[in-house]
Structure 1
């Protein structure tokens, strides 16, 4: 896997523009660079010179195979067909939802997709303001997010969508196995002594509870998996869910845990959590076993972020996760094993 810089990513993006039939010299604006480089662009082709705005993603090399990425885009199309508010992807010349470029570039082959840009009319929130408690979000927004999550899970069942190829599932081993999908949180050097012992004990209890919870289809199936605030846009038509990069099979509760995780230190956490669940249950029922399993799922989700950080030390976000999220995760672990 090769790490590329902005210059290389821009060159790859311009090659993809040509493949999709756009002018390769179209101005590009960098929107985001974490796992992928994400650019925006405006196209003014056509007789009336009407402007259409797009988002172009240069995927991190080797993160998903072509078959895995095709599976992801098929999932988005299945949700779109069921009326869920998700992005609209362009088809490449070969009919896929992405192209592969860079075969003659020093950075090597990279997958690139394009989608219509969704106008974001305000921030739903972000991870850091959730953790530091400064986020000011109406509980009604979490209720709307819960309804959207329920729509995704209901639409998945209605569509009959099944995973065409395996991905890194958010199952028991993917979350708290010996080789978790996002890395081992116990590899964080700062996690020592009684804090480490609490997390280790919590992992054992998570495994026990989620094993007992089971994986029937009303609890487990294809999910978004990264339902964080930055992946929810406010649009004129309501909330829209973007970035299905980590989509895989997992527990439905995992989406709810992801939506609320970064607000667990927030002074209004209980209010936000209750609104999220109320919104979800307005569209999809939960039973007492779901509510009982949620603390285990929430802590399992917290541990995935630390596992991700453990393999990326020195970068800004991983260091923030260790400094600010690790202490909160230890608190959650202590509360979990004491309950």
Structure 2
């Protein structure tokens, strides 16, 4: 039985995968999320679990194994992240659906995290209606810093390279998430502002550099919907876009959809303060952050450019594009000289 109406083909993939993890194939499935991945909850032996069907072709088996290994390393270090179950072959996922019309798919199973919902939503951040306590952003900053600190301390290295969120991936000739300049609505002064900002972004990111204390494996999709609120605190979920990138990129992602919010400065300062309580930030971090925020915003427009007609893509163009232009104007007019103290932006 399924309590929502995803495609029958996706349901079959879940049912084929569950025995690989020692479960019966026929539990009641409850659809939690269906965007690029399909995520279901189910109960077995009195415990709740989550099965995630990965979108076809996004990652190779080796790349997904690298993601699972990273999350397990963070968990072993005490960071609040999901708990992946091992399939009968020892891997953290199963490959099923050899007869599926779109070829085989990867399915993983995790222990269900009892929660009170997500940290927030992208929409309420952008439209200014979010009612989040700045203290929550401080908690989020500490959690992100713990993840970065654990990665640096344990010397974790990705066994399989995954697309880097580096200068080329963000503002190179072929950005990792697509070219934002392909959006037809980006015209006139707004387009000029973004075009003018691109070389500034490249210059600032290259000058910032990629030492280990700034650049390494990161979550890379730390949106408010990928952070759960639980009785034990915040938990980072959905490492689907995990790859090498700047630590500040995670902070930029956490703040991006709140940049138009009237309490943005409070949220930013709280996030930075929480982060700095675990991992110190210096003047160069603060100085480059507006550029990092713009680089993150451009990735969403690039993503939308390749998915026109989808609701999320259309929302990004209608509601987020003007915000991206404002970020570009700020980068174009700001001094690149670091100031001396505080959570500068």
Q: Same fold (TM over 0.5)?
A: yes
Match of 1:92 in 2: 87
* SS at 2:234 equivalent: strand
- What is the rounded CA distance, in whole Å, between the counterparts of 2:11 and 2:198 in structure 1? 42
Whether 1:280 and 2:275 are equivalent positions in the alignment is yes
Equivalent residue of 1:324, what SS?
helix
8 Å contact kept, 2:118–2:226? no
Q: Indicate yes or no: 2:35 matched with 1:34.
A: yes
Shift of residue 266, structure 1, vs aligned partner: 0.3
Matches of 1:142 and 1:227 in 2, distance apart? 12
Q: Deviations over 1:25-63 (max 9, x none)?
A: 11111111111001111113xxxxxx1000100000000
Give per-residue Cα distances to partners, 1:82-122, cap 9 Å, x unaligned: 10011000000110000000012223100000000101124
Q: What is the number of residues matched between the two proteins?
A: 329
Q: Superposition pairs for residues 1-339 of structure 1, below 5 Å?
A: 6-44=7-45, 51-339=46-334
Q: Report the Cα distance in structure 1 between the residues aligned to 2:154 and 2:30, rounded to whole angstroms.
A: 36
Runs of 4+ in 1 over 4 A off after TM superposition: none
Deviation string 1:194-222 (CA, Å, 9 cap, x unpaired) is 11111011111100100111101111011
Residue by residue over 1:251-270, the C-alpha shift from the partner in whole angstroms, topping out at 9 and shown as x without a partner, is: 00000000000000000000
Q: Deviations over 1:248-297 (max 9, x none)?
A: 00000000000000000000000000000000000000110010000000
Instruction: Extract unaligned runs of 5+ from structure 2.
Output: 1-5, 335-345
CA distance in 2, matches of 1:124, 1:77: 22
- Coordinate RMSD, CA, aligned: 0.9
Question: Alpha-carbon deviation of 1:22?
Answer: 1.4
Cα distance in 2, alignment partners of residues 259 and 159 from structure 1? 24
State the 1:8 CA deviation.
1.3
Query: Distance between the aligned counterparts of 1:55 and 1:69, measured in 2?
Result: 17
Deviation at 1:332, TM superposition (A): 1.0
Whether the aligned pair in 2 keeps the contact of 1:79 and 1:159 (CA below 8 Å) is no
Q: Distance in 2 between matches of 1:202 and 1:22?
A: 53
Q: Secondary structure at the match of 1:179?
A: coil
Contact 1:8 1:107 in 2 (8 A): no
Q: Would you say the 8 A contact 1:59–1:110 is kept in 2?
A: yes
Q: Which runs of 5+ in 1 are unaligned?
A: 45-50
In 2, the alpha carbon distance for the partners of 1:179 and 1:29 equals 39
Return the offset for 1:316: 0.5
